[in-house]
Structure 1
Amino acid sequence: MVIRTMIPSMAALAILVLAGCNNASAGAQSGAMDRLSAYDTIDACLYRNPAATDRTACIGEYAQACEQLAAEGETTAGMLACRGDEYEAWDRWLNESYRDLRESLSDESVVALREAQRSWIAHRDQDCLFLASLYAGGTLERVEQASCLTRKTAERAIELLHWHADYPPF
């Protein structure tokens, strides 16, 4: 119980240090506490949740807090900005995980991984286009596509992060 109270909830952490949708420099100018970027927010969440199954809880955490805290967060433009920031952060995690995995593989496996990744990207993009099409012409079309790209990219990043543990003999 004592340990639990020492670890701040995401909402409290977000209020203190969340990247307010790219306003860290404004905070620095006004003397306010600098805020974490989406990448650093995800990093903190992944650190708190070391198991792959627990890490899926990190997906959407930044965007949700950003939407609640940013002045324009609950508008379509605000949602897109928050989700876009989170997508970019997860894409960075994906690229880093891919690079780290690639460095541990044989040349033959690197080629196979590259082809698998290219196929995965095409599949992800088509799935997200389909889901967005369910809202064709509506304000949620772009929001759904951004959410889908973020979710699928995050899931793949987590999968690649845990490849060594989940797929021996690495």
Structure 2
Amino acid sequence: MNRCAGQDYARADGAMNRQWKTTYPYMKNRDARGGSFAAQLLDSQRAWLKYRDAQCIIAGAEFEGGSLQPMAVAQCRARLTDLRTKELQTLVWQR
């Protein structure tokens, strides 16, 4: 179960990284027209990563010291990372 949860997190992380490679250059392109969107996005992503990691440690605390703790942490990371990927997708505006 831990391995499957870890694989699910790896999948989610890969998807987020692929989306980042679309969203970040898009924001840099928007910066060329005025703004600091790319820098704000980078700050946001760094803060989000800290939030995700801290939040998932809390989620795993229910099972602290047990064999389910790594699975709970990985499941939390996968779930939050999937949500972040969707957020990053919405930032590529179709106008």
Residue aligned with 1:139, SS:
coil
**Percent identity between the aligned chains?**
26
Give 1:159's aligned residue: 87
Structure 1 alignment gaps of length 5 or more: 1-78
1:93 and 1:112 map into 2 onto residues whose CA distance is 21
Structure-1-length-normalised TM-score:
0.49
Deviation at 1:155, TM superposition (A): 0.8
Q: 1:4-27: per-residue Cα shift (whole Å, max 9, x none)?
A: xxxxxxxxxxxxxxxxxxxxxxxx
RMSD of aligned C-alpha atoms? Answer: 1.7
Residue-pair matches, total: 89
Equivalent of residue 91 in structure 1, options 5, 9, 13: 13
1:5-24 to 2 correspondences below 5 Å = none
2:58 and 2:84 map into 1 onto residues whose CA distance is 19
Whichever structure has more helix as a proportion of its residues is 2
Q: 1:72-105: per-residue Cα shift (whole Å, max 9, x none)?
A: xxxxxxx121121121111111111112011111
The 8 Å contact of residues 2 and 68 in structure 2, kept in 1 or not, is answered as: no
Structure number with larger C-alpha Rg = 1
Deviation at 1:161, TM superposition (A): 1.7
1:1-170 to 2 correspondences below 5 Å = 79-105=1-27, 106=31, 108-165=36-93
Deviation at 1:164, TM superposition (A): 2.8
